[in-house]
Amino acid sequence: MKNIKIAAVIALLGLGFTSCKDEKQEKAQKTIDSYVAYVDSVKNVSAENLKENWTSVESEYDRRAAEADAALADLKDNTAATEKISSSKTKFEEFKNEMTTVFAPPAASPKQQLRDALFGAGKIGDDMNFSWVNAQNIHSVYQQFVHTVEDNKDKYSREDWDEIKLMYEALDSRKNTVEKEGLTSEDNRKIAGLKVKFAPMYTVNRMGAKSEENKEAKK
């Protein structure tokens, strides 16, 4: 009788272990299926909404992907599940690359590209604000401007030269203000030298660009 009771207890324990094991595998499978479903659902969200919430989307993806990878250890045969996870990872990476292109800011206009080259990226926009130019940096600003023009003088069109002149005059206007704010005589002298270099370079090359355009027009 005693042996029968012991056997019954062992059998019940065995059922309990089996039940727990099955429950663990079921939970692991659900975790993996949830991860796969998340990847598929993200692809159905509009690009506009994704752009606003992309950081959260990536964070949630990373969490679910980590949980899915960990869940593989709880599956007796995880071959199919491993393939599902791998496939979803590939899908998400491809989608992420696609969205990176969609989210990228539009390319700057030729005029803005020219301004970025002359002054530094984003320094001068449509508002033509030169307030960032001060007594401490104005010499280096002139230096970059003139040297950039010198390096690219053979590539500029007549419209480019007109834009360059507009920017140059705006910088000169800012210099008039900066001179009253502590511009050193040494920097003023160096700027004068850069201005002497710029003036004939502008005149000659703009005339050359206009002449080339007239030739092309005649063709």
Greater model confidence, 63 or 8: 63
What average pLDDT does the segment 15-44 reach? 79
Domain boundaries, the chain: 2-103, 110-218
Structure-derived torsion over alpha carbons of residues 131, 174, 184, 122, reported in degrees to the nearest 10: 50
- Please calculate the CA angle 18-19-21 and round it to the nearest 5 degrees: 65
| pLDDT of 11 above 60 | no
Buried-state track 76-93, b at ≥16 Cβ within 10 A, e below 16 = eebeebeebbeebbeebe
What average pLDDT does the segment 107-136 reach? 93
Question: What integer pLDDT is reported at residue 13 of this predicted model?
Answer: 43
Mean pLDDT (the chain, rounded): 86
What average pLDDT does the segment 158-174 reach? 96
Greater model confidence, 202 or 45: 202
pLDDT digits (tens, 9 = 90+) for 122-151: 999 999 999 999 999 999 999 999 999 999
| pLDDT of 14 above 50 | no
What average pLDDT does the segment 6-24 reach? 51
| pLDDT of 10 above 50 | no
Using pLDDT thresholds of 50, 70 and 90, give the confidence band for residue 108.
confident
Using pLDDT thresholds of 50, 70 and 90, give the confidence band for residue 214.
low
Question: What integer pLDDT is reported at residue 52 of this predicted model?
Answer: 86
Percent of the chain with pLDDT over 70: 86
Q: What is the DSSP string of the chain?
A: -HHHHHHHHHHHHHHHHHHHHHHHHHHHHHHHHHHHHHHHHHTTS-HHHHHHHHHHHHHHHHHHHHHHHHHGGG-SS-HHHHHHHHHHHHHHHHHHHHHHHHHSPPPPPHHHHHHHHHH-TTSS-TT---TT--TTTHHHHHHHHHHHHHHHTTT--HHHHHHHHHHHHHHHHHHHHHGGGT--HHHHHHHHHHHHHHHHHHHHHHHHHHHHHHHHHH-
Using pLDDT thresholds of 50, 70 and 90, give the confidence band for residue 48.
confident
CA–CA separation, 15 vs 86, rounded Å? 34
Prediction pTM value = 0.56
Angle 138-152/185-218 helices, nearest 10 degrees? 30
| pLDDT of 212 above 80 | no
